[in-house]
């Protein structure tokens, strides 16, 4: 790799989603806590912040089944910045006890604030501010903001217009999925879409404004990260949620029937995480159609993500070699089968567009020789997870002595238990093997595994925030195959022990990762 996402330098990072940051408004956002976290990373010797996908989620909050592959979740918008810009006043941000009672009510409250901010933004249009018949500083600022919004809308038109219309229609249809909409809207008949754009113009303007705010605030956060020497590491799911703007707007790119329903769905066969495999339910791509126009849909998707991140993890990379195709009528993933995918052609198109391919391959699970060959052919780093390393023999590819420099080593990922929780539930023989391999360390878990990750020859080492805080299983981010209760974990600044940043800085220096 080369450019801003260069992985040639030995370095380390922390995995924690933006939503997990501290804050008073239900979830982490792009405000002061995000900037403070970047500063803490820098003080601790970390130069990578890895997070999960940033798109707007369905009600289950899963960032791997987003409503758009391009848009940012408006719930991440820093509301205090809207006060500073003059779109809101401080009184509008005051929460009452009822609104603070649950995450769901806070999400609704955030949305109301954004609606009020849009009204405030529109009220500050050029010509509405001057009391003396001449524009003042506020007039110029308002005019500049409106020009910036218009520029943003034009630059992102290829996805933003469809997304805004989709979200406005979805609200009008009481959150029904697009395949349940009236047929003219479901099938994107031009007359029906034109009428909807006129009917929903105000709602569409609101949604465009929210995306403008998200991208503007993200750019400012990324600039701050650059000043601290911190790079942003994103995550891109290989598949797309069925109920999403992209599937609705690009039905020809997906394997759907005439009514918009998938003919087969994505998932994985039985593995470490699930005895029945995982039936994700995403529609598969029509790869032949995508190849016909040079994978334009994929290239546009990647371009948007590289506007946000220095480099990306491609989740379920093995799906570019072959994907697990499950009959839509099957209750579990056991009934699926492998189907070849045109990963070579896609990665060639990505290399032609972007030069060095800015991807890390998530190559966990059932990995065959063709997957390894594809990853190596394009010089993509793979992943090593230490929690997978100690349940077999010395040939286990996740053991530190088996690591390769062109890889990213983790103690665990967002799908794993915390390292302390994992350790507390180990079988006795695995626990003994772990202790023997690590030289019967005196430090309490998870620190021996953290040290092992940092000491690895893997060029990048990433540690989940839960492990740095030595948290147990109650602090998991996600339990694969379990539908409820995931994606809600957050930490508080008070949980960081005094001197943790100095301890981590010393470790990063010791293992050559500063």
Residue 45 and residue 79 in contact, taking contact as beta carbons nearer than 8 Å: no
Distance of CA 456 to the CA centre of its chain: 26
Catalytic residue among 29, 73, 310, 315: 315
Question: Residue 481: left (phi > 0), alpha (psi -120 to 50), or beta?
Answer: left
Question: What residues contact 194, with CB distance under 8 A and at least 6 apart?
Answer: none
Cα separation, 295 vs 473, in Å, equals 41
- Does a cis peptide bond (omega within 30 degrees of 0) precede residue 446? yes
Task: Give the Cβ contact number of residue 163 at 10 Å.
Answer: 26
Cα separation, 446 vs 472, in Å, equals 10
Residue 383 and residue 408 in contact, taking contact as beta carbons nearer than 8 Å: yes
Residue 111 and residue 56 in contact, taking contact as beta carbons nearer than 8 Å: no
Catalytic residue among 243, 415, 467, 501: 415
Give CA angle at 236 (164, 173), nearest 5°. 30
**3-state SS class at 340:** strand
Cα separation, 290 vs 296, in Å, equals 7
| Residue 131 known to be catalytic | no
> What is the length of the chain?
514
Catalytic residue among 210, 362, 417, 501: 362
Which residue(s) pair with 265 in the sheet? 283, 326
Residue 161 has which token pair? 């217009």
Q: Give the residue among 357, 373, 318 at the shortest CA–CA distance from 340.
A: 318
| Residue 293 known to be catalytic | no
For the chain, give me the number of helices (H) and strands (E)? 18, 12
Residue 473 and residue 417 in contact, taking contact as beta carbons nearer than 8 Å: yes
Question: What are phi and psi for residue 232, nearest 5 degrees?
Answer: -105, 125
| Residue 140 known to be catalytic | no
Question: What are phi and psi for residue 462, nearest 5 degrees?
Answer: -130, 130
Cα separation, 91 vs 87, in Å, equals 12
Residues that are catalytic: 315, 362, 415
């Amino acid at each position: 790799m080369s450019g801003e996402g260069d992985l040639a330098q030995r370095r380390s990072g922390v995995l924690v989603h933006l939503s997990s940051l501290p804050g008073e408004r239900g979830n982490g956002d792009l405000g002061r806590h995000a900037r403070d976290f970047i500063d803490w990373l820098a003080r601790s010797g970390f130069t990578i912040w890895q997070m999960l996908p940033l798109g707007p989620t369905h009600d289950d909050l899963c960032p791997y089944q987003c409503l758009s592959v391009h848009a940012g979740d408006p719930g991440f918008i820093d509301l205090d910045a809207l006060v500073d810009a003059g779109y809101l006043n401080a009184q509008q941000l005051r929460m009452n006890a009822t609104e603070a009672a649950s995450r769901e009510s806070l999400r609704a409250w955030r949305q109301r604030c954004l609606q009020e901010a849009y009204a405030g933004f529109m009220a500050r249009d050029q010509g509405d501010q001057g009391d003396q018949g001449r524009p003042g500083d506020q007039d110029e600022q308002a005019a500049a903001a409106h020009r910036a919004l218009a520029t943003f809308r034009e630059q992102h038109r290829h996805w933003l217009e469809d997304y805004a219309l989709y979200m406005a229609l979805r609200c009008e249809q009481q959150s029904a999925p697009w395949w349940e909409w009236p047929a003219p809207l479901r099938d994107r008949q031009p007359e029906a879409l034109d009428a909807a754009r006129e009917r929903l113009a105000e709602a569409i303007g609101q949604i465009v404004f929210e995306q403008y705010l998200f991208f503007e605030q993200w750019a400012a956060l990324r600039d701050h990260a650059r000043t601290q020497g911190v790079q942003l590491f994103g995550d891109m799911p290989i598949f797309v949620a069925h109920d999403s703007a992209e599937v609705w707007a690009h039905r020809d790119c997906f394997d759907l029937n005439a009514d918009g329903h998938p003919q087969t769905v994505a998932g994985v066969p039985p593995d470490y995480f699930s005895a029945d495999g995982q039936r994700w339910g995403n529609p598969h791509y029509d790869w032949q159609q995508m190849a016909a126009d040079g994978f334009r849909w994929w290239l546009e998707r990647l371009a948007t993500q590289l506007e946000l991140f220095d480099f990306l993890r491609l989740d379920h990379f093995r799906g570019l070699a072959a994907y697990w195709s499950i009959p839509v009528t099957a209750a579990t993933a056991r009934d699926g089968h492998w189907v070849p995918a045109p990963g070579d052609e896609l990665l060639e198109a990505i290399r032609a567009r972007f030069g060095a391919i800015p991807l890390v391959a998530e190559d966990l699970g059932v990995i065959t020789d063709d997957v390894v060959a594809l990853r190596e052919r394009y010089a993509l780093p793979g992943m090593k997870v230490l929690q997978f390393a100690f349940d077999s023999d010395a040939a286990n590819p996740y053991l530190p002595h088996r690591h390769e420099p062109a890889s990213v080593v983790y103690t665990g990922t967002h799908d794993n238990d915390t390292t302390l929780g994992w350790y507390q539930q180990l079988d006795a023989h695995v626990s003994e093997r772990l202790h023997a391999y690590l030289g019967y360390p005196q430090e309490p878990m998870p620190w021996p595994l953290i040290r092992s990750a940092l000491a690895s020859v893997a060029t990048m080492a990433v540690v989940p925030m839960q492990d740095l805080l030595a948290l147990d299983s109650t602090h998991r981010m996600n339990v694969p195959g379990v539908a409820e209760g995931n994606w809600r974990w957050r930490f508080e600044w008070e949980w960081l022990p005094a001197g943790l940043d100095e301890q981590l800085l010393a470790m990063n220096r010791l293992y050559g990762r500063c």
